[in-house]
Structure 1
Amino acid sequence: MEPAIPDLRNTPKAEAYAALRDMQALLLEGSTDVIADMATVSALLHHAFGHLWTGFYRVVEPERLLRVGPYQGSLGCLEIAFGRGVCGTAASEKRSIVVADVHEFPGHITCDPRSQSEIVVPVFDARDRLIAVLDIDSAIHNGFTEDDRDGLESLMAWFRRASYVPLSA
């Protein structure tokens, strides 16, 4: 039986992310399926923090195109070009981006009009290739901090360590 996902909304960030890292390690130990891992991490984060949208956009054409992957929440955009919006910018620059007010971000792509703030973290594999970005939207203005960036980057480091079996074409 899998452990219940705790509500961490009122837990100090460092403590919350430490608990999630422990759960991630427990749940994903021995996994060789990147999609299953992304689905599990999406559920962990979404239910622990109660975000509006939590999920991955996978790199399907390196340096060109992201496609929606496992997620929790309302409908996501199906595809995002590198360099477009917060996700595409984070992918092309290979860096995390914290956006306090999505309406102030040039070229922001509105998938859900309730979104007020956003954080996007790049996901790399063991060969240091960008494989996805983690995207989280909040209905709260200024909903993410540098503590969230640090915590999410530490969770995404899992994908660098994991040994994945290539997906069948």
Structure 2
Amino acid sequence: MFQGLDYATDLKVKYKQLASQLDALLTGEENMYANLSNASALLNQFFDRINWVGFYLKDENELVLGPFQGLPACIRIPFGKGVCGTAAESNKSIIVPDVNAFPGHIACDAASQSEVVIPISKDGVLLGVLDIDSPELNRFTAEDLIGLEHFVEVLIKHI
């Protein structure tokens, strides 16, 4: 049963607790959209200094907007375009300290200054990406990337 958030001060411990909370929250539910919706809400509660968190889901050769928290967003992103499309095409996580310096960045929200994107693959098949934006430059660290990749590993068990 989901117990709510009570995080430690150490970032590695926080991410471990976040993954445990996600697992508890999603256990027993098999609907992918319900689970992605709760995952985005959990991340929105977990993070400070962000302005958007959510999922883009693979549809043919593009990503389509999925469950999210934040302002309305771009609906379709072709593979290889912007940060999300680049992460999807390469199937590799990306931290962008300054989105304005990223070639081909797609500005869905002009307030976004930095971004982290984690591909979501199951059994070698890309399902989509987790995307988090911040209105601050250099918001995301290598430790965030590791923690979010673990979060996605837990998420994959429930979608």
Aligned to 2:129: 133
Q: For 2:91, which of 89, 94, 104 is the aligned residue?
A: 94
Contact 1:46 1:72 (8 Å CA) reproduced: yes
Q: Residue 4 of structure 1 aligns with which residue?
A: 4
Which structure 1 residue ranges, 4+ long, deviate > 6 Å from structure 2? none
Match of 1:22 in 2: 20
Q: Is the 8 A contact 2:2 2:21 kept in 1?
A: no
Counterpart for residue 167 of structure 1: none
Q: Give a deviation string over 1:11-55, Cα, whole Å, max 9, x none.
A: 332121111111011111122111111111101111111321000
Write out per-residue CA displacement over residues 44-80 of structure 1, whole angstroms, 9 at most, x where no aligned residue. 111111321000000011xx11000000011110000
Q: TM-score, normalised by structure 2?
A: 0.93
Count how many residue pairs are aligned between Structure 1 and Structure 2. Answer: 158
1:111-130 CA distance string (max 9 Å, x none):
111101000000012x2211
Contact preservation (8 Å) 1:53, 1:74 = yes
Equivalent of 1:65 in 41, 59, 62:
62
**Whole-angstrom distance in 1 between the partners of 2:9 and 2:107:** 29
Q: Classify the secondary structure of the residue corresponding to 1:120.
A: strand
Partner SS for 1:157: helix
Task: Show the counterpart of 1:52.
Answer: 51
Question: Per-residue deviation at 1:4?
Answer: 3.3
Find the counterpart in structure 2 of residue 115 from structure 1. 112
Counterpart code for 1:32: E
Q: What TM-score comes out, normalization by structure 1 length? A: 0.87
- Tell me which of 49, 74, 80 is aligned to 1:77: 74
Secondary structure of the residue that 1:132 maps to in structure 2? Answer: strand
In structure 2, the gaps of 5 or more residues are none
Q: Match of 1:75, SS?
A: coil
Q: Kindly, what percent of the aligned residue pairs are identical?
A: 42
The 5 Å alignment of 1:25-36 reads 25-36=23-34
CA distance in 2, matches of 1:157, 1:149: 12
